[in-house]
Amino acid sequence: MLDKKQKKKLLQELNIDPADVKRYIDPRKQKERLTEVKYTLYETTSYGRISNSLFENLTLSLTKKYPQFFNSLNINLKQSDIKILSKTYISMMFFSSFIALVSSLAFFSFLFVLLGLDPVSIILRTFTFSFVSAIATLTAFYLYPASVANRRRREIKEDLPFAIIHMSAVAGSGAQPIAMFDLILSSGEYKGLEGEVRKIVNYVNLFGYDLSTALKSVSLTTPSKPFRELLLGIISTVEGGGSLKDYLEGKADEAMTTYRLERKKYVETLSTYSDVYTGILIAAPLLFITTLAIINVLGGKIGGLSVQTLSSIGVYGVIPMMNILFMLFLNITQPEA
């Protein structure tokens, strides 16, 4: 390495202005900083450390004794991309259930005492509600990774057809295969695929994996079957010496055809939903009101309730609730744009 005096003397001999060197080097350093990809591995938390210290032995014992029960949880954790080790997550699950049990015991015992119940009822109800709270917490922790994995699966499905078209265009330009994933990640347009593509780029750029190994590693943990098939197809094409451009063009046409068919199918399904809505939420309430009007004229009650009470429950309660549920159903079943 040259010291400052030697650098200055060398620049004078070469007749180079130091300011020009600085202007050349600074943009390159800035570009390097901009192209760095943040990589997050599993991070420990205080809650996780406490959970491990209290329930690690129980976790290890149960996972060895009931491997099938916890195997699906481990798979969902990997596919959900939750940055927590499976052992730590299971310990947190047990610790959270224990906290729910203790806090529920304190809360419900205090509540039932205030309500003036007898001691036997207080004990029975307190333990029942506390046990249900602990089981509910345990169940919520167990199902949460699966729900995250399903959400990621839907997001990947939404972005995949357009990402393949993007990749096909990049491959057609003659760029290196890794450049496809670099551009997909840097574009910021495919949020659903961002996590998976970041893994591929980090495996290659940070850990020094070759592209095939990186794609195989990601294919084992991705929650999306179509994306897994795409990665395995790229591996086969690259290793077999085939045309990556032709392969991606074929996959792009296939993905867009599937996308259009799903949209068409959903539009046809909406016509069926409209008939159901007309029958249940328009015609049925009219028939309900007409029937109540006739009963009101004849006189009498239904199930001990007056016609006025039933009409109020139907108009202000049942019908609005059914409309809300129907709108929620449409929102859940519709494909994202």
Mark which of 123, 153, 183 sits at the end of a domain.
Answer: 153
- Residues 90 and 138 reside in one and the same domain: yes
Mark which of 153, 173, 190 sits at the end of a domain.
Answer: 153
Is 2 a member of any domain? no
- Which residues does residue 305 pair with via DSSP β-bridges, in sequence order? 302
d(CA 244, CA 248): 6
Determine the structural domain holding residue 199 and report its residue range.
155-257
Is 99 a member of any domain? yes
SS3 299: coil
The contacts of residue 112 (CB under 8 Å, 6+ apart) are: 121, 122, 125, 126
Contact indicator for 226, 219 with CB cutoff of 8 Å:
no
Closest among 90, 184, 192, 102 to 145, alpha carbons compared: 90
- Residues 111 and 188 reside in one and the same domain: no
SS3 302: strand
Is 82 a member of any domain? yes
Is 251 a member of any domain? yes
Is 314 a member of any domain? yes
What's the number of domains the chain is made of?
3
Is 1 a member of any domain? no
Contact indicator for 217, 49 with CB cutoff of 8 Å:
no
- Residues 233 and 176 reside in one and the same domain: yes
Instruction: Identify the sign of the CA torsion 158, 229, 209, 237.
Output: negative
Within a 10 A sphere around the Cβ of 64, how many other Cβ atoms? 9
- Composition of the chain by helix, strand, coil, percent to 5: 85, 0, 15
- Residues 118 and 197 reside in one and the same domain: no
Mark which of 231, 257, 283 sits at the end of a domain.
Answer: 257
- Residues 132 and 171 reside in one and the same domain: no
- Residues 51 and 148 reside in one and the same domain: yes
- Residues 145 and 50 reside in one and the same domain: yes
Gyration radius from the chain CA atoms: 31
Is 7 a member of any domain? no
- Residues 114 and 51 reside in one and the same domain: yes
Overall pTM surpassing 0.95 (yes/no): no
- Which residues does residue 160 pair with via DSSP β-bridges, in sequence order? none
Is 28 a member of any domain? no
What φ, ψ does residue 48 adopt, rounded to 5°? Answer: -65, -40
- Residues 241 and 224 reside in one and the same domain: yes
Q: What is the pLDDT of residues 219-259, one digit of tens each?
A: 999 999 999 999 999 999 988 888 888 999 899 898 888 88
pLDDT in tens, the chain (337 residues): 545 665 566 555 545 566 555 554 444 444 443 344 455 555 678 898 999 999 999 999 999 998 888 998 999 998 888 888 889 999 999 999 999 999 999 999 998 888 888 888 889 999 999 999 999 999 999 999 999 998 899 889 888 988 999 888 888 888 888 888 988 888 888 888 888 999 999 999 888 888 999 999 999 999 999 999 999 999 999 888 888 889 998 998 988 888 888 888 888 888 888 888 888 888 888 888 888 888 877 776 776 777 788 888 888 888 888 888 888 887 766 665 4
d(CA 162, CA 207): 28
Q: What is the pLDDT of residues 129-154, one digit of tens each?
A: 999 999 999 999 999 999 999 889 98
Contact indicator for 196, 156 with CB cutoff of 8 Å:
yes
- Residues 114 and 161 reside in one and the same domain: no
